[in-house]
Amino acid sequence: MFGKERGEIKFDIVVHSMGGLIARYYLLRYGDQSLPKDGSPPNLNWAGAKNVNRLIMVGTPNAGSVLAFEDLVHGKHFAPKWLRAIGAVSIPSYSAAVMGTYPSIYELMPRVRHRAFVENLSDQNVDVYDVELWEKYGWGPLAADQDKDLQVILPQTQTVEQRREIALEHIAKCLRNAQRFHQALDRAAKPPANLKISLVAGDAEQTKERVQLDLTIGAFEVTKYGPGDGTVLRSSALADERAGGDYQPKLQSPIHLHDVTFLFRDHLSMTKDPMFSDNLLFRLLEE
């Protein structure tokens, strides 16, 4: 690494999407600490801040994204259903069984308190981190049509029951760790004086905000959209604690942001925007 022999050197970090969550946890707040096994929060010591001058987050889902839940339940498909049906092109597609093996996807789900998931009859919050719901409704890797892929993922198993038991245990562990990861990130703490945290976010694309669940059969549909970048809500990028609650005149967030820039771009296009490039270079080279 350039300059590592100079102990006083500081780095500027630019990250996109989930990279912002990793930077906030690993580089800025907790260093190389793992989440304690007893469920307690890690020691908040801003261990990485001694080597960082500025963090610039781009399209980071600081409070999660509904798309993560959808991808876990239905899989990730980069082509529309009709195009996949005719098999005209070779476009990547990842089943729910495959998506469910990645712990990081669970960490991208929204917080329950922000009312991202509500029951269709009572309009009450639904805790999608409750593994019993996943087992009851056969979500994600537990769906009956996912066993073929589970056989590939778990070649040492002999029966459907064995594979479901392993998948259920894995889902439960990932859901628990995701909640603990969220709790660690959501602790409000003022960063050291030397550290500036910037955010670049989209707020002009219709973005999925709320999912309504039918708890009689486990089906769900998106019923509310909000401003964002098509993947990450504006409120999620800001980690706005007003989401799902009563309006307050000023931003309520555990992240102490030095500055925020909004772009009329989608999640993947923001870094191609000339306005992004100009402001990024100014912050890195001039400010």
Cβ atoms of 263 and 200 within 8 Å: the answer is yes
Please report which residue ranges of the chain form alpha helices under DSSP H. Answer: 19-22, 66-74, 81-86, 96-99, 103-107, 131-137, 147-153, 160-185, 234-237, 274-285
Q: Are strands 11-16 and 52-58 parallel, antiparallel or unpaired?
A: parallel
Strand-strand pairing, 93-94 and 11-16 = unpaired
Output the pLDDT for position 83: 57
Specify the pLDDT at position 39: 85
Q: What are phi and psi of 51, to 5 degrees?
A: -110, 10
Give the Cβ contact number of residue 6 at 10 Å.
Answer: 8
Residue stretches of the chain with pLDDT short of 70: 1-7, 79-90
**What's the CA gap between 99 and 103, in Å, rounded?**
9
Rounded Cα–Cα distance for residues 272 and 276 (Å): 7
pLDDT of residue 189: 86
pLDDT at 287: 81
Q: What's the pLDDT score for residue 276?
A: 95
Q: Report the 10 Å Cβ neighbour count for 148.
A: 9
pLDDT at 90: 66
What letter does residue 247 receive in the DSSP assignment? -
Cα R_g (the chain), whole angstroms: 20
pLDDT at residue 81 in the model: 63
Distance between CA atoms of 93 and 75, rounded to whole angstroms? 8
> What is the Cβ-side half-sphere exposure of residue 154, based on CA atoms within 13 angstroms?
22
Residues whose CB is less than 8 angstroms from the CB of residue 90 and which lie 6 or more positions away in sequence, other chains included: none
According to DSSP, the residues that pair with 197 across neighbouring strands are 55
Tell me which DSSP letter residue 218 carries: T
Q: Which residues contact 43 (CB under 8 A, 6 or more apart)?
A: 30, 33
pTM: 0.90
72-85 tens-digit pLDDT: 999 998 756 655 56
DSSP assignment, residue 233? Answer: B
C-alpha triplet 145, 118, 94: angle, nearest 5°? 30
Q: Is the dihedral angle over the CA atoms 234, 238, 242, 245 positive or is it negative?
A: positive
Contacts from 120-129 at CB under 8 Å and sequence distance 24+?
Answer: 120/212, 120/213, 120/214, 120/215, 126/213, 126/215, 128/69, 129/175, 129/176, 129/178, 129/179
